[in-house]
Structure 1
Amino acid sequence: MNKARKVRLNFVDDLRQETSPQMSEQITKRMQLAAQIDDALRQRGLTNQEFAFMMGKKPSEVTRWLSGTHNFTTETLWEIERVLKIQILTSSPLKELVLEEQEDLKNFVVNEVQKALTKYLNRKNRVSIIS
């Protein structure tokens, strides 16, 4: 074992000893939450970037969520539940879904593309009128 690795392991051991049981439990729960979200993404075949788009967030924020260190707001957790159709907060009942997940995602993407196309065409028309 090289010296750097040995120092690093000693550092990790020191941190474990200094962490209170409450803090340790919080860390564990945050890691489990991140793993639950990551599992849902994998099951649905979604990349972090696709999920970020669906959430209206930057991919870097999703990466932070999945690190296991993020302290979520309840509003964000509710939105994640809605988008991924999973239950994270035990007090919120899971709603029955009318549409299949893939159909729901397709409708979302079609809607976003239509908005972007409309915006583009409106800009193009303004440029034509000015010219």
Structure 2
Amino acid sequence: MENSKNNIISNWLEQNNTPEINKLVEKNLAIANKIQELLKERGLKSVDLARLLVKKPSEISKWLTGTHTFTTKTITKIETVLGVDIIHIEAQKEYVYLKVHVGQEEQEDTLFENSEVFSVESNLDKKVS
């Protein structure tokens, strides 16, 4: 049965081959593989994940074979019950605009990354929080 599923997926991919579909399939398989690794690390099986998520084991099986598209809601639920991030998003940098005064003259607005913001008082550098 598993072989016929793979053939159906392969045939569908050949007929509907687009860069977007290929990337979607690649990401779904990567997520499914990551979840399987996490389950293995924790000594859990797919039926345990089904129980934790209050889902049917057949649905979890579809997820873990890559034949079902993950929603961010589903991924977040899985991350929550397993206690680990599956998808890592880089934190956005915060920027601060300051007016810079040199002597009596006001310079133009200057862009600083939040972690780079300093003030100078009495010839003593100190970080501004």
Alignment partners' CA distance in 1, 2:45 and 2:11: 34
When normalised by structure 1's length, the TM-score is: 0.54
Relative to 1, partners in 2 of residues 1:20 and 1:88: Cα closer, same or farther, differing over 3 Å?
Answer: same
What is aligned with 2:57?
A: 59
Deviates more, 1:27-36 or 1:15-24: 15-24
Relative to 1, partners in 2 of residues 1:92 and 1:49: Cα closer, same or farther, differing over 3 Å?
Answer: farther
Relative to 1, partners in 2 of residues 1:27 and 1:15: Cα closer, same or farther, differing over 3 Å?
Answer: closer
Output the aligned Cα RMSD: 2.5
Q: Which has the higher helix share?
A: 1
Relative to 1, partners in 2 of residues 1:49 and 1:20: Cα closer, same or farther, differing over 3 Å?
Answer: same
Shift of 1:83: 0.9
Relative to 1, partners in 2 of residues 1:83 and 1:22: Cα closer, same or farther, differing over 3 Å?
Answer: same
Count of residues in Structure 1 that have an aligned counterpart in Structure 2: 83
Secondary structure at the aligned position of 1:45 is classed as coil
Alignment partners' CA distance in 2, 1:77 and 1:14: 25
Name the structure, 1 or 2, with higher relative contact order (CA <8 Å, separation 6+): 1
What is aligned with 1:69?
A: 67
What is aligned with 2:108?
A: none
Which ranges of structure 2 fall in alignment gaps of 5 or more residues? 1-6, 92-129
Relative to 1, partners in 2 of residues 1:14 and 1:43: Cα closer, same or farther, differing over 3 Å?
Answer: closer
String of CA shifts for 1:61-103, please: whole Å, max 9, x gaps.
110110112112222111100111221232398xxxxxxxxxx
Residue identity in the other structure for 1:47: K
**Max Rg structure:** 2
Residue identity in the other structure for 1:69: T
What is aligned with 2:40?
A: 42
What is aligned with 1:28?
A: 26
Which ranges of structure 1 fall in alignment gaps of 5 or more residues? 1-7, 94-131
Alignment partners' CA distance in 2, 1:53 and 1:38: 15
Q: Which has the higher strand share?
A: 2
Residue identity in the other structure for 1:34: A
User: Percent identity at matched positions?
Assistant: 36
Relative to 1, partners in 2 of residues 1:75 and 1:13: Cα closer, same or farther, differing over 3 Å?
Answer: closer
